[in-house]
């Protein structure tokens, strides 16, 4: 029996000239891989395979299969954010981080709904320069670790290793300086995905480095985020 579900496309692996295997985070099955055919270079079908595209589709879930079939895929609230070069770069970066950070056996409706609602903001907003930074700060709590909001004059420095603000570095190798710690605190407390935050490009590059390091410290085997260099170059 076919099951209708929704998903967020995180990765495309070309299979033939007109087909690919998509790594999709779904609401009903968690992370899963699906074969999609009939892809061209343009059109709505090709848009389905783009990073962070939200889709609905039917499938016959087979736990014994590593790649399932995808039937009648449809775009959800499609705005073609990939036509904006900066949004496309942010989408590629976030898709790579999320595909590595979310476990393979991770059905989690709360996490899916948070990402789904967040991407709706991203797709329709013109104030998105800090979106990826705030999203990764917020989603970390749903992944089982967090940026704790305990910044104070007595504890002004952020320790990436324990996710909290501390009084002094002590023996930790991963305590940020005062400037970078202040930026982290602003992200933690941001509303509307940081639309009001006035970071310069240097600060955004630093925050990208710090957040990726934070994730690598808390997720074993996260590995290198290849798209990080591209996004840092854009914010140069």
pLDDT at 60 over 90: no
Q: Are 5 and 60 in contact, with CB atoms under 8 Å apart?
A: no
Q: What is the mean pLDDT of residues 12-32?
A: 92
Query: What's the pLDDT band for 32 if we cut at 50, 70, 90?
Result: very high
Measured at the CA of 85, the angle between CA 12 and CA 179, to 5 degrees, comes to 100
Distance of CA 148 to the CA centre of its chain: 19
Q: Is residue 168 part of a domain?
A: yes
For 66-93, write each residue's pLDDT tens digit.
899 898 999 998 766 667 899 999 999 9
Residue 46 is classified by DSSP as H
Q: CA-to-CA distance for 188 and 186, rounded, in angstroms?
A: 5
Helices (H), 22-162: 44-47, 85-101, 109-124, 131-142
**Residue 40 confidence class, pLDDT cut points 50, 70, 90:** low
Between residues 65 and 14, the one the model is more confident about: 14
Q: Worst-scoring range by mean pLDDT, 71-80, 106-115, 170-179?
A: 71-80
Residue 104 belongs to a domain: no
Please tell me the distance from the alpha carbon of residue 103 to that of residue 71, in angstroms, as a whole number: 24
For residue 4, list its beta bridge partners: 58
pLDDT at residue 42 greater than cutoff 70: no
The verdict on residue 9 lying in a domain is no
- Determine the Cα–Cα distance for residues 15 and 81; give it in Å rounded to an integer: 25
Task: Look at the chain and report how many structural domains it folds into.
Answer: 1
Confidence category of residue 153, pLDDT binned at 50, 70, 90: very high
> Quick one: how far is CA 176 from the chain centroid?
23
Higher pLDDT, 235 or 179: 179
Residue 177 lies in a domain: yes
What is the pLDDT, as a whole number, of residue 103? 84
Per-residue confidence (pLDDT) for residue 80, from 0 to 100: 67
- Asked whether residue 141 is assigned to any structural domain, the reply reads yes
Beta bridge partners of 140: none
Q: Is residue 215 part of a domain?
A: yes
pLDDT over 80 (residue 105):
no
39 — pLDDT class (breaks 50, 70, 90): confident
Residue 231's nearest CA partner among 89, 134, 51, 91 is 89
| Mean pLDDT confidence for 93-121 | 93
* Domain enclosing residue 232, as ranges: 125-236
Residue 153 lies in a domain: yes
pLDDT of residue 50 exceeding 70, the answer is: yes
Per-residue model confidence as pLDDT tens digits over 216-234: 999 999 999 999 999 999 8
For residue 51, how many other CB atoms are within 10 A of its CB?
23
Percent of the chain with pLDDT over 70: 95
Summarize the confidence of residues 50-63 as an average pLDDT.
88
Domain-located, residue 115? no
């Amino acid at each position: 029996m076919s099951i209708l579900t929704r998903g967020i496309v995180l990765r495309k692996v070309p299979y033939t000239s007109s087909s690919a295997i998509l790594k999709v985070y779904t609401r009903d099955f968690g992370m899963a891989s699906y074969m999609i055919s009939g892809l061209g270079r343009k059109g709505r079908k090709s848009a389905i395979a783009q990073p962070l595209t939200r889709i609905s589709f039917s499938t016959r879930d087979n736990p014994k299969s590593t790649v399932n079939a995808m039937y009648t895929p449809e775009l959800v609230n499609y705005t073609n954010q990939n036509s904006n070069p900066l949004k496309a770069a942010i989408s590629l970066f976030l898709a790579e981080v999320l595909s590595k950070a979310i476990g393979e056996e991770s059905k989690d409706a709360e996490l899916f709904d948070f990402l789904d609602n967040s991407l709706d903001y991203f797709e329709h907003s013109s104030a998105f320069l800090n979106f990826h930074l705030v999203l990764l700060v917020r989603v970390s709590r749903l992944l089982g670790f967090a940026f704790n909001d305990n910044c104070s004059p007595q504890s002004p420095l952020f320790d990436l290793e324990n996710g909290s603000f501390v009084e002094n570095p002590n023996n930790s190798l991963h305590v940020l300086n005062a400037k970078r710690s202040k930026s982290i605190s602003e992200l933690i407390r941001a509303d509307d995905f940081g639309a009001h935050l006035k970071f310069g490009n240097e600060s955004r590059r630093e925050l990208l480095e710090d957040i990726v390091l934070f994730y690598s410290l808390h997720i074993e085997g996260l590995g290198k985020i290849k798209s990080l260099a591209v996004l840092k170059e854009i914010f140069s």
